[in-house]
Amino acid sequence: AAAKMEGEHDWRNLCRVDASKQLTSFRRRVFRARISKCSNIDADLDNPGVEGLYVFDLIGSGFLYNQVRHIMAVLFLVGSGLEPPSIVDALLNADISSPNPDPTVPLLERRPEYLMADALPLVLWDCAYKEQDVKWRSDVGADEDEGPGAKSVHFQLSGALERAKIHAALDACFLASAARFHPPLDDGLPLASPHNVGRVGFANVLLGGGTNARVRRYIPLLERGRRETVEQINRKWREGRGKRRKGRLGETVVAEVGDDE
């Protein structure tokens, strides 16, 4: 499912439409979308109860509002067995002017209703520019004269890591103690198919960051209600909030001109 996201696509079904920007094009290029084991975390966090972590590396030319959190929500659904990997093909088949040539892939001009993933692990790790476009200025070494343990970047980050280790160890101890009286329940994941939800009576829709949404009956994305089209969302904003904002700006300009006179 992640590999299907590489390349240039229309992402309107995998983002939140920001009507204030009045975007008409949602095409962005993803250069890399891979899931790999986060080995450096395992090496640093030598605490009981800390399981192996994995990182989703996403590299692209630019990203839309909440695009990454929507992508992760869909990947969680696929990984849980609630959706097939082909759901990505359908969600990316959104541009009516250039639809997917495969007739078996449905055209989704409007985004299905679904919850986006939790924001907790999301990190903007790096931004790349052509060397000739940017002249970098750095203050490396500037905090060396502040004394040991002052406000250096290394001191702050090592302190944050130490606190995280303590919280991880405490939470692991609390979980181990509680498990004696509250054993873990079978959440039914991963599913062989969405119809297996009845095996345990519910399904946990994973949202990341240790959160989930419990549902009694999982409805596949292609069978859910749809949001309005981008054109409808943009028009409503222009005729409503955008019009009021324009009016307030006009009143401000008139007032300033009057004061000058």
5-19: pLDDT as tens digits: 999 999 999 999 999
Number of H helices, E strands in the chain: 6, 5
Q: Which residues pair with 60 in a beta bridge?
A: 30
- Local structure of 12: helix, strand or coil: helix
Q: Which residue has the higher pLDDT, 199 or 64?
A: 64
pLDDT of residue 174: 94
Q: Is the pLDDT of residue 105 over 80?
A: yes
User: What residues contact residue 249 under an 8 Å CB cut-off, 6+ apart?
Assistant: none
Q: Tokens at residue 73, please?
A: 């929500």
Q: Is residue 165 predicted with pLDDT exceeding 90?
A: no
For residue 130 the two structure tokens come to: 């052509």
pLDDT, residue 34, reads: 94
The mean per-residue pLDDT over the stretch 156-179 comes to: 91
Using CA atoms, how far residue 121 sits from 28, 53, 54, 124, 211, in Å, is 22, 11, 11, 10, 12
Looking at residue 193, the DSSP 8-state letter turns out to be: S
Best-predicted range by mean pLDDT among 133-137, 140-144, 150-154? Answer: 133-137
Q: What predicted TM-score, i.e. pTM, was given to this entire model?
A: 0.81
Q: Please give the average per-residue pLDDT across 180-200, as a whole number.
A: 66
The residue ranking higher by pLDDT, 210 or 141, is 210
